[in-house]
Structure 1
Amino acid sequence: MSGARAFLAEGEGPARPDRLGHGTAVALMIRRAAPQAAILHAQVFDDRPVTSAERVACAIRWLSPRCDLILLSLGLAADRAVLREACAGARAEGAVLVASSPARGAMCWPAAYPGVIAATGDARCGWDELSLLPQCIVGAWCASPERGGRGMGGASLGAARVAGHLAAHWPEARTDAAGWLAARAVHIGAEHRGAVPA
């Protein structure tokens, strides 16, 4: 399955050219990790990396009957009922959600919701490595210059790499996706040592 749809301030419609390059970079990351994966693109940005809870919620509701792994390479500063309900609905339908989170500081949404895998970039991680950070945030390769990356990077690309780890091992990783990721972390904070399943 493949396809794309835009969720704009003025309503839903056909996808537009990716003027930011964000969705393209995220898709390329997943494609590199899991060439077999079918990718659906729900566009929630225009020409700036700004969106709304309503737009993201509409995108999640469109994706959830079509996808069992949903990557949300974005973070919003405030909890909104419409977004919370869309994430809960997707999880109730069996979807695994991965969302971008800052490595430090205040959490953002939807990464802060229960059951959503919070993911970020970690410059310590090589392409095949994962880390487990405070607040159970999963870190991954994120095109950081320390690892030879160029261009776009950060939490969005780290979240895409985390989703790529899962997609490459689907459906094995699906049953307990958070536990599957934690068990493969090679960089583990002191608060997690001894608590990560072998």
Structure 2
Amino acid sequence: MTRTPLIALIDGPLAADTSGLASRMDLCELHPGAAESPAALHASHMAAAIRVNAPEAQFLGLSIFPGRLSTSLATLAEALRRAAESEAEIVHCSFGHGEARPLLAEAVAAVLAAGKLLVASAPARGAPVYPAGCDGVLSVQGDARCASGQWSLLDLPGARFGACPGAPGAPVRGASLAAAHFTGLLARASLQDGIEAMLQTPAFRGRERIGAGGPHAA
């Protein structure tokens, strides 16, 4: 990886003055008020959370949400294909689709075949979502044990990793933010001892369990 890791952020439209924004590609027709939309807010929080751990990270913004946090499967697949063809080392997806359609699986496979890491958020409860549920994807859910610079090895059916879900009451928190924190940790590791070394040293192992003393490993 380069000294300034490039991350393909597939999300809402990033503002032109977003720290680290190298370029932006809109893959959907944006709503006239997209700049103030939930999609733009979500994207800005994901970028900020990534740069908490990797302040030197640069972004290729791939806009798939026109205003609301909703898009078509075809648009998502196209974004993944563009990411696969880009110079980005890490592809980030803080969202999930409810079905493992062949179109999505093929696009995920293209990203992985290009030698990139694909990080995706996975909910702590409910049915699996995709791309987090696809083979080879680094699936992440929120883990309240983790500070922003920590991660956990969960090895759960729905998520392999856990990371900081954000503070209670924050505008955006949960699996989306956890995945962004984890992406930042990967980017930082790429500039230090390497990602393989990072993945050997989780702060926590096993499922988070809430008890009288607070969250701890099961």
TM-score between both structures, scaled by the size of structure 1: 0.82
Mapping for residues 116-131 of structure 1, pairs under 5 Å: 116-131=137-152
Select the residue among 170, 179, 185 that pairs with 1:165: 185
Residues 140-186 of structure 1, C-alpha deviations (whole Å, 9 max, x = no match): 112132xxx62210111110011010011115544x4xx843x2222
Mapping for residues 6-155 of structure 1, pairs under 5 Å: 6-8=26-28, 17=35, 19-20=37-38, 21-64=41-84, 65-133=86-154, 134-135=156-157, 136-145=159-168, 150-155=170-175
Aligned residue for 1:3, secondary structure, equals: strand
The answer to whether the 8 A contact 1:101-1:137 is kept is: no
Identity of aligned residues (%): 34
The answer to whether the 8 A contact 1:26-1:160 is kept is: yes
The answer to whether the 8 A contact 2:119-2:138 is kept is: yes
**What is the root-mean-square deviation of aligned Cα atoms in Å?**
2.1
- 2:167 and 2:133 mapped to 1: Cα distance? 24
Alignment gaps of 5+ in structure 1: 191-198
- 2:123 and 2:160 mapped to 1: Cα distance? 9
Partner amino acid, structure 2, of 1:141: C
Aligned residue for 1:170, secondary structure, equals: helix
Aligned pairs, number: 178
Alignment gaps of 5+ in structure 2: 1-5, 7-21, 208-218
Moved over 3 A (4+): 171-174
